[in-house]
Amino acid sequence: MATQFRLNRQTPTLLETLQLRLLPEGSASAVRYLALLMILVLAAISLFPLYWALITSFKHPSDVATIPPSFVLTRPVLKNYIDLMTGSGVANSPVLKWFWNSVFTGAAFTFGVVLVASLAGYSFARKRFPGRDKLFWLIISTMLVPAWSTLIASYVLTLKLGMHDTYWALILPGLASPFALFLFRQFAVTLPDELFQAARIDGAHELQLWWLITLPLSRPVLATLAIFTFTYHWNDFLWPLLVLNKPQIYTMPVGVSIIMFQLKGTGPAYGIGMSAAILMSVLPIVAFILMQKQMIQGITIGSLKG
Site string for other proteins, 213-252 (x = CB under 8 A): ------------------x--xxxxx--xx----------
Please report how close the Cβ of residue 262 comes to other proteins at its closest, in angstroms.
Answer: 13
**What are phi and psi for residue 68, nearest 5 degrees?**
-70, 150
Q: Which of 47, 78, 96, 195 binds other proteins (CB under 8 A)?
A: 47
Q: Which positions from 190 through 209 interact with other proteins, judged by CB under 8 A?
A: 200-208
Question: Per rule CB under 8 A, is residue 9 in the interface with other proteins?
Answer: no
Neighbours of 50 (CB within 10 A): 12
Please report how close the Cβ of residue 86 comes to other proteins at its closest, in angstroms.
Answer: 19
Question: Per rule CB under 8 A, is residue 155 in the interface with other proteins?
Answer: yes
Choose among 83, 86, 31: nearest CA to 60. 83
Question: Per rule CB under 8 A, is residue 262 in the interface with other proteins?
Answer: no
Indicate the SS3 state at residue 205. coil
Q: Which of 62, 86, 142, 190 binds other proteins (CB under 8 A)?
A: 142
Question: Per rule CB under 8 A, is residue 172 in the interface with other proteins?
Answer: yes
Total residues contacting other proteins by CB under 8 A comes to 114
Question: Per rule CB under 8 A, is residue 299 in the interface with other proteins?
Answer: yes
Choose among 245, 242, 262: nearest CA to 91. 262
CA within 13 Å, CB half, 242 = 17
Question: Per rule CB under 8 A, is residue 162 in the interface with other proteins?
Answer: no
CB 63 within 8 A of CB 79: no
Site string for other proteins, 56-85 (x = CB under 8 A): x--------xxxxx----------------
Please report how close the Cβ of residue 82 comes to other proteins at its closest, in angstroms.
Answer: 18
Our CB check for other proteins shows the closer of 178 and 220 to be: 178
Choose among 288, 291, 253: nearest CA to 273. 253
Task: Quickly list DSSP for 239-257.
Answer: HHHHH--SGGG--HHHHHH
Question: Per rule CB under 8 A, is residue 268 in the interface with other proteins?
Answer: no
Choose among 18, 65, 113, 32: nearest CA to 272. 65
* Span near other proteins by CB under 8 A; candidates 76-84, 89-97, 217-225, 276-284: 276-284
CB 164 within 8 A of CB 245: yes
Question: Per rule CB under 8 A, is residue 146 in the interface with other proteins?
Answer: yes
Question: Per rule CB under 8 A, is residue 130 in the interface with other proteins?
Answer: yes
Please report how close the Cβ of residue 236 comes to other proteins at its closest, in angstroms.
Answer: 8
CA within 13 Å, CB half, 268 = 13
Choose among 56, 103, 106: nearest CA to 84. 56
